[in-house]
Amino acid sequence: MLERVLSLRRAAPHADDAPADEDEDAVYVGRDESKTRKHQHLFFRAPNRASNYLTRINYVSYWPCAIALFLLLILAFSFFFTSRGFVCISSYSPVSRVGFFGSDGHESDFGALGVPWCRSKHGKTVEWTAKDLLKGLEEFVPIYETRPIKNNMYGMGFDHSFGLWFIARWLKPDLMIESGVFKGHSTWVLRQAMPDTPIISLSPRHPEKYLKKGPAYVDGNSTYYAGKDFVDFGSIDWPKVMSKRGITDLSRVLVFFDDHQNELKRIKQSLKAGFQHLVFEDNYDTGSGDHYSLRQICDQFYIRGGGHSCFKDSDEARMRSRNKKFWEKAVDIEELCGPGETWWGVRGYMRDNFNHSNKLISYVEHFQNSRFLESILDVYWELPPVAGPSLTHQTRYDPARAPSPIVEDGRYGLFQRLGLASLDNSVFNGYTQMVYIEISER
Ligand SMILES: C[S@@+](CC[C@H](N)C(=O)[O-])C[C@H]1O[C@@H](n2cnc3c(N)ncnc32)[C@H](O)[C@@H]1O
């Protein structure tokens, strides 16, 4: 029954280095310490490493050992099942964590709790394929290794850096705009994708401020609306800026948001300005995050993989409570649901500006927001995680609410060939469903 219900929900989408001053930075970028956490639960390492080891060893030359191991496993399993009645093992015991990956690392929970995929007007999707992503990864890893800001805590990790680089490189825009710069890592990523394209960077604090205390990146071909020159994206006279630059075709502009503002607000501002290609870095899942996101807006009962039950005695509640023990970003029913069973946004709140502002919205309003989005959405594409948790050892996002990764669990050979195994685990701990959208007026 559980499997049946879950499979119905399973959505196959069409598819600061120690900050300059840590406390000060936390104010500027919002506290999300676990974004690039270095530590991971010890418990994860053993099964993951074991599965990776099994993948790595040359099993042909070790086949007699493999047969012996297999027989031993059968024995152990039969003992386990026959003794279950005597030994009380809760299905939520940490022991079941192994179940996320299975003994060979192939099994996982990806999408089991739904992956709400925003509906576009005409069902259009992106041009790139899984093969293109893999090819892109191969090219991007050596580039990423040369990044100037090695520890980008509070900023983008590997997954989203790759996503932004890939999208910018694919679209080849004439102008790139970024809102939310911090120390400049995303500016650097955009520069790697498009070496000669001008950038406009908006952020209350100029990245050069960080240079005094450690690594930061200031781009020579970017116009900074930062520090004393800061202007919010929604207050810039874009037609004037575009005409000054001689940009007449706004479909040649890519806008990247990593400023933790209500994404509905940013979309409306972009539409008004005539921008069509947008990327949102933190596309937070329902029940989490400091701003209203596309993921949250599209999480609706009528959307495949969307909608929630606040019923405590439900399969969703049980699975969420189990997953909460394993993944930092997983939320259980208690956190997901507010008074009156409000589950949309975060407990019924539409958050904005690093959660400095939040507003309770009714389900009707939330529903209308999604209908509005559908009326202007041409393409919706969530970046998948680069690799499964048994490979990256990420401890943060809940696979049950994520699309399947580019490099699936168990494919250690590929993970290693791509150069991903040589990266520090901490860089894989920042995945929050980065999304690329294309929009146009009805
Ligand atoms: C998460 S950080 C950006 C990380 C950066 N993109 C990176 O890759 O490292 C968020 C940034 O948004 C900035 N910010 C806050 N309010 C903003 C606003 N209204 N417009 C633009 N940026 C804003 C913060 O000061 C901070 O630098």
pLDDT in tens, 233-248: 999 999 999 999 999 9
Q: Is residue 89 part of a domain?
A: no
What pLDDT shows up at residue 106?
A: 38
**What confidence category does residue 66 fall into, taking pLDDT thresholds of 50, 70 and 90?**
low
How far does residue 29's CA lie from ligand 1's centre (Å)? 6
Q: Is residue 99 part of a domain?
A: no
pLDDT at 35 over 60: no
What pLDDT shows up at residue 132?
A: 98
Measured distance CA(317)–CA(123) in Å, rounded: 32
Contact 258, 178 (CB under 8 A): yes
Q: Is residue 435 part of a domain?
A: yes
pLDDT at 178 over 80: yes
How far does residue 281's CA lie from ligand 1's centre (Å)? 11
Asked if residue 55 has its Cβ within 6 Å of ligand 1, the reply is: no
Q: Is residue 418 part of a domain?
A: yes
How far does residue 388's CA lie from ligand 1's centre (Å)? 28
How far does residue 254's CA lie from ligand 1's centre (Å)? 17
Q: Is residue 432 part of a domain?
A: yes
Which is more confidently placed, 46 or 378?
378
Q: In ligand 1, which atom is closest to the CA atom of 256?
A: 6
Identify the helix (H) or strand (E) that includes residue 414. Answer: helix 412-417
Asked if residue 154 has its Cβ within 6 Å of ligand 1, the reply is: yes
The type of residue at 193 is: A
Considering only CA atoms, which of 212, 330, 304 is closest in space to residue 10? 304
User: What is the tens place of the pLDDT at every residue in 407-420?
Assistant: 999 999 999 999 99
Q: Is residue 237 part of a domain?
A: yes
pLDDT at 78 over 80: no
What pLDDT shows up at residue 72?
A: 62
Structure-token pair, residue 394: 């990420």
Which is more confidently placed, 208 or 47?
208
Number of independent structural domains in the chain: 1
Asked if residue 202 has its Cβ within 6 Å of ligand 1, the reply is: yes
Q: Cβ neighbours of residue 415 under 8 Å, at least 6 residues apart? A: 387, 391, 407, 421
Contact 363, 286 (CB under 8 A): no
Could you give phi then psi for residue 202, rounded to 5 degrees? Answer: -115, 125
pLDDT at 365 over 60: yes
| Across 52-66, 178-192, 263-277, 289-303, least confident range | 52-66
**What confidence category does residue 5 fall into, taking pLDDT thresholds of 50, 70 and 90?**
very low
What pLDDT shows up at residue 57?
A: 36
Structure-token pair, residue 77: 């399993």
User: What is the tens place of the pLDDT at every residue in 318-340?
Assistant: 999 999 999 999 999 999 999 99
Q: Is residue 78 part of a domain?
A: no
Structure-token pair, residue 417: 């060939």
Handedness of CA 120, 123, 127, 132 (dihedral sign): positive
Measured distance CA(221)–CA(228) in Å, rounded: 19
How far does residue 179's CA lie from ligand 1's centre (Å)? 6
Q: Cβ neighbours of residue 46 under 8 Å, at least 6 residues apart? A: none
pLDDT at 4 over 60: no
Q: Per-residue b/e over 202-211, b at no fewer than 16 CB within 10 Å?
A: bbebbbebbe
Three-state SS annotation for 193-242? HCCCCCEEEEECCCCHHHHCCCCCCCCCCEEEEEHHHCCCHHHCCHHHHH
pLDDT at 442 over 90: no
Residue span of the structural domain in which 255 resides: 2-42+106-439
Q: Is residue 242 part of a domain?
A: yes
Centroid of chain to Cα 404: 12
Strands, E assignment, 239-301? 253-257, 277-280
Measured distance CA(50)–CA(434) in Å, rounded: 30
